[in-house]
Amino acid sequence: MTMIKSLILGSAAGLVALSGAQAADLPVKAKAVEYVRICSLYGAGFFYIPGTDTCIKLGGYVRVDTTFNGNTYGGPAWSGDQGQGNRYRDYFSSRSRMAITVDTRTATEYGVVRTFGQGDFQFNNFGTNNATALSTFPGPSGASNSLNVAGGGYVAVEMVFIQFAGFTFGKSASAYATPWNGYPGNNNSFLMGGPDYVTGVNNIQYTAQFGNGVSATIGLDDPTVFNRTSVLNLGVASSAIGAGANAYGGTHAPDIAGNIRVDQAWGLFQISGILHNVNASYNTLGAGGAPVVGSEISGHPDDKWGGAVTAALQIKNLPTGAGDDIKIDATYAKGNTKAVISTSGSSPNFAMFGNTGIAGAYQSIGFGQTSDAVYVPGGELKLVDAWGVRGAFNHNWDPYWSSSLWGSYAAVRYNGSATDILSAKGQWCANYNTGKTPLAGSGYSCNPDYNIAQVGLVTRWTPVKNLTFSAEVGAFFLDQKMTGAATLTPTAPKPTAVYEFKDQSTVFLNVRAQRNF
């Protein structure tokens, strides 16, 4: 009996001990997992940053494209080695890019606070044998690092801005820009005839919403790296493809920009304007416009204000098909030529060479020098006029195929006549004619005015959502106003020889693959 009692008590003790051990091994209650929550307030793709009331959207794209007979991103062969057609030019240029966008939004008592940024990681083959300098970025101790070496590349910053209570602070499209910037329907970044702020400028803007799609925006833009072409000091010796040298002074005032917009179901209409300060450095300058000893006491012309106006129109709901539209804009500028001769990054000068039919001439040449103003030492700034129109018809064949037919026309005018030394044109020609030897009997005459025209077609195939393959062909025409022929010394490797002044043209083909995410 004693033995049985001992066994029962021992078993009970063992069970208690076992139960205690199992209880000790039970897991402690875990903290609740904070799952990512979808934010539906601002459209698809937003989610809440865990632990906050801020919504964020990550996006971007990967783009690979190649341009034949042109520069990267669909740039026509209108200058440099490409324009010369020499043996240093590349027959094709390619680019690979990944763009990353970060968009955050937070609802506040003042409205939505938004931040946005886009960075581009890209590599392109700037050209390994070009006669012109390779593109580089500064390295330590002033050294330079080539961007086009294997494993190279660079980061480009497009938009970086904050929006709050109607204000925008940072790098964004100017209030002067059209909603489509320089892309009414084209793929390439070189359709001119109007402003193109697609990569943004540093600015401060305020937008007022009046309801029913009506709004107005006013802002101050920093023009330093974007909205300045050149101010030509005509006291500096000319070259084969232009007169004087760029003598823009420092930035003295911001651009004042604004627009009024109506954006409704039928389409969009916008009228915009910009004021731009034009200023020169000094009267006495050295080669290329560089300062020399005594430049500071040589004086300078007084600053002048130029500007531009643009009207933009988009028409939707066309009978040709769902999603089809027409976009068109027209611009007039005085002392603000970048508003017309504008790419996303620069305002190009044109220098193109071709064949000639004049006996004794080596080749033909056509050029157009882009500037905001000209002056002779001791004289006043004379503003340059420009105007342009561009647009596109965009058509969807079906859910997978679409096409855009685009084009533009623009003109640059140096006012006055070649024989009036008090006019912009007369002063420009007096500078350019110095040192030139016209070919006898060729009918030489000087006129720096020029027109440009562009036309092209792009077709896109989207086999699956957000993956698009496209091909674009475009033509560029330079209508220059110089006549006859003269002995010129262009940039090497061209020889000093007789060149006929003649209109020029070129054609390019761009192919692209792009995946949006």
pLDDT, average across residues 165-188: 97
Of 65 and 14, the one with more pLDDT: 65
| DSSP result, 68-111 | ESEETTTEES-SHHHHHT-TTS-SEEEEEEEEEEEEEEEEETTE
What amino acid occupies position 252? H
| Residue-level pLDDT at 73 | 87
| DSSP result, 460-487 | EEEEETTEEEEEEEEEEEEEE--BSEEE
What amino acid occupies position 45? G
Lowest model confidence (mean pLDDT) among 114-128, 140-154, 220-234, 316-330: 140-154
Q: Which residues of 330-348 are buried (b: 16+ CB within 10 A; e: fewer)?
A: bbbbbbbbbbbbbbbeebb
Residue 114 contacts residue 104 (beta carbons within 8 Å): yes
pLDDT, average across residues 334-340: 98
pLDDT tier for residue 247 given thresholds of 50, 70 and 90:
very high
Closest CA to 469 of 460, 477, 478, 456: 460
| Residue-level pLDDT at 346 | 84
| Residue-level pLDDT at 23 | 44
Q: Which two tokens stand for residue 239?
A: 């070259």
At which residue do the structure tokens 């240029």 appear? 93
| Residue-level pLDDT at 345 | 82
| Residue-level pLDDT at 150 | 67
At which residue do the structure tokens 């938009």 appear? 159
Residue 225 contacts residue 370 (beta carbons within 8 Å): no
Q: Which two tokens stand for residue 19?
A: 């139960």
| Residue-level pLDDT at 4 | 44
Lowest model confidence (mean pLDDT) among 23-27, 292-296, 483-487: 23-27
Closest CA to 453 of 402, 384, 407, 396: 407
Over the Cα atoms of the chain, what is R_g?
A: 31
Per DSSP, the three-state class of 244 is coil
Average pLDDT of every residue of the chain: 91
Residue 405 contacts residue 393 (beta carbons within 8 Å): yes
| Residue-level pLDDT at 184 | 98
Return phi, psi of residue 25, to 5°. Answer: -85, -10
- Decide if pLDDT at 147 tops 70: no
Q: Which residues pair with 366 in a beta bridge?
A: 352
Domains of the chain, residue spans: 158-516
Per-residue pLDDT reduced to its tens digit, 348-382: 999 999 999 999 999 999 999 999 999 999 999 99
| Chain centroid, CA 236 distance in Å | 30
| Residue-level pLDDT at 20 | 47
Q: Which fold has domain 158-516?
A: Porin (2.40.160)
**Furthest C-alpha separation in the chain:** 143
Total length of the chain: 517
Q: Which residues pair with 96 in a beta bridge?
A: 64, 123
pLDDT tier for residue 388 given thresholds of 50, 70 and 90:
very high
Q: Which two tokens stand for residue 453?
A: 């025209």
Per-residue pLDDT reduced to its tens digit, 20-73: 444 445 555 555 556 789 999 999 999 999 999 999 999 999 999 999 999 988
| Residue-level pLDDT at 153 | 80
| Residue-level pLDDT at 15 | 38
pLDDT, average across residues 435-455: 97
Share of the chain above pLDDT 70, in %: 88
| Residue-level pLDDT at 11 | 47
| Residue-level pLDDT at 18 | 41
End-to-end CA gap in the chain: 81
